[in-house]
Chains A and B, each alone.
Chain A
């Protein structure tokens, strides 16, 4: 049977789309600060995240481990962007799961990498050698290191999720284990004013994509080119 080159290429394209890998997703988070600031003392996101992932509560601030936390506006976005209306306001910060993550670039063992299927910056604490190069590279201070055994600082251990050992780095994972079961990150689920929206920014119909089209959103240190995927609305 004869087939023209053009027809053959068209057939190939259709077949690849039908049987090839699905289009990669780009998971992103949009945080509506106006909603978040309705209760400035609220820390439900951090509490839910840290409980779900056995993140230890270490009293020494120098060795604390935090996956999501609140920082003053001027610390999060720089003194220069802290106009009086927002000065001192608490902003939730977490790993930005950047498009061009510096931490992934510098890791000497591939213990952290950007997942192709959905853009999550993953962490393999089995492989991490604790060199902390990723912590030096991260422009946002999103990563924490286990300076000692975390277990003494855990009041309860949820066996559904592993703890970590001394000597490895950890950070927010966008709750990859919950996403695997079709859920949402713990912080997003628990947020009382529903200030956090999470989804596939590459899917035009997602809530995240719609928000980013409708409203002006800003990110931390966009000029550095890391391409953070946590957006803030005001």
Chain B
């Protein structure tokens, strides 16, 4: 094969590979996100748009406060005094499988929390 042909073929292969995510998703759109929202609860522990963007930061802040500062309680926007706990507060309303996992899978993130913190619903 001539040099030009090799270059052209390699370039084509590279472009095909690099653009794979785009045309694959166009051909087979991912399943729409179907989150099982908690029933009968109006408010989370912080405003919704904040939680959508920054619940990871909130949980890290909680972690440092509980583990390093020994603070365990905070006041939610609805005035209720809650415990800073992933399992006892967050998972009190949310289901891990129907809520947390579905969105995490959709955006392809794998948070490390679950290797230690167990889902109470799956233990029954």
Bind each other: yes
Q: Which residues of A contact B (CB under 8 A)?
A: 54, 113, 115, 117, 122, 124-126, 156-160, 162-165, 176, 180
Enumerate chain B residues within 8 angstroms of A160, measured Cβ to Cβ: 87-88
Q: How many Cβ-Cβ contacts under 8 Å join chain A to chain B?
A: 38
How many B residues, CB 8 Å from partner?
15
Residue of A with least CB distance to B68? A124
Interface of A: prevailing SS: loop
**How would residues 51 to 84 of chain B score, 1 for a CB under 8 Å from any chain A CB and 0 otherwise?**
0000000000001000110101000000000000
11 further A-B contacts with Cβ under 8 Å, apart from A159-B87, A160-B87, A180-B70, are A113-B68, A115-B70, A117-B70, A156-B123, A162-B87, A163-B116, A164-B116, A165-B112, A165-B115, A165-B116, A180-B72
**B95 close to chain A: CB less than 8 A:** no
Q: Known: A157-B123, A160-B87, A160-B88. Contact between A126 and B67, CB under 8 A?
A: yes
**B119 close to chain A: CB less than 8 A:** yes
In angstroms, Cα B38 to Cα A217, docked, is 55
**B98 close to chain A: CB less than 8 A:** no
In angstroms, Cα B123 to Cα A124, docked, is 24
Tell me how far the C-beta of A179 lies from the nearest C-beta in chain B, rounded to whole angstroms. Answer: 10
Tell me how far the C-beta of B34 lies from the nearest C-beta in chain A, rounded to whole angstroms. Answer: 25
**B12 close to chain A: CB less than 8 A:** no
Tell me how far the C-beta of B78 lies from the nearest C-beta in chain A, rounded to whole angstroms. Answer: 23
In angstroms, Cα B68 to Cα A196, docked, is 27
Q: List 22 A-B contacts (CB under 8 A).
A: A113-B68, A117-B70, A124-B67, A125-B116, A126-B67, A156-B123, A157-B118, A158-B118, A159-B87, A159-B118, A159-B123, A160-B87, A162-B87, A162-B116, A162-B118, A163-B115, A164-B116, A165-B112, A165-B116, A176-B70, A180-B70, A180-B72
